[in-house]
Amino acid sequence: MKLRTYAGYNEMCRATAEIILNQVKLKPDSLICLTSGDTPAGIYKLLVQYQKEKKVDFSQCYFVGLDEWVGMDKNDAGSCTNFLYESFFTPAKIASSRMMVFDAKAADLDASCRTMDAFINEKGPLAIMLVGIGMNGHLGLNEPGADFNSYAHHSPLAPITIEVGQKYFQQETKLTEGITLGLKHLQEAQIPMLLASGKKKATIVAKALQGEVTNKVPASIFQTLGNGYAMMDEDAASGLVD
């Protein structure tokens, strides 16, 4: 794992965006996994800007969404997919044929998982997989206890995820289950990238990157990923021991 610490959030976003930029230049039809949330927002803003400036062309790329709240889709404000559409897919004019997101409203969620896995197997391997780190060390919606060998799956949400997840909604919203790419996808990605920003993430970042490797802290899997990147600002890295 390559640990990269930057003076601030903007510098972290720019460095991450440039890694994505270089990958797309190297392989224009790369398959890229995008995560939702506050941390990647600045990265997507830069990528859209780069495309407008013709520094990069995403038209041949394929994209997958990392996860989703079960029972929601792109039309639900606060959903993961809604965020990806508003922050990247729509402004970057990504064709629907070149993206795959979870059908989290499906009657058969297992079938939705199989559809996602099949898309990745067909278009892959995953060139870049972006993930944030939750306050409990989750990656995507791989909650503590998630199987390191799992592919796409759905499972109950941890109480802290339900609590923190409310920030994405204008009113209190019932969240019970998540559907997500698995930790095996992360291990198979050519460039897995962990994103972290802010003091509030310092304790869990230190636990994940310098503590025991265990599925009780899913993000600790990054310690085993020689090709992985941990991208963070100084605040998020402030708990790490030299």
Q: What is the DSSP string of 60-104?
A: T-EEEE-EEETT--TTSTT-HHHHHIIIIITTTT--GGGEE---T
**Catalytic, out of 136, 153, 185, 215:** 136
Q: Which of 143, 153, 154, 215 is catalytic?
A: 143
Distance from C-alpha of 131 to C-alpha of 46, rounded to nearest angstrom: 17
Among 82, 138, 153, 233, the one annotated catalytic = 138
147 is a catalytic site residue = no
Q: Is 142 a catalytic residue?
A: no
Q: Of the residues 67, 103, 117, 233, which is catalytic?
A: 67
Task: Check if the beta carbon of residue 197 is closer than 8 Å to that of residue 12.
Answer: yes
Query: How does DSSP classify residue 153?
Result: E
Q: Determine the Cα–Cα distance for residues 55 and 57; give it in Å rounded to an integer.
A: 7
Closest CA to 213 of 221, 225, 202: 221
Instruction: Specify whether 73 is catalytic.
Output: no
Q: Among this protein's residues, is 86 annotated catalytic?
A: no
By annotation, the residues acting in catalysis are 67, 136, 138, 143
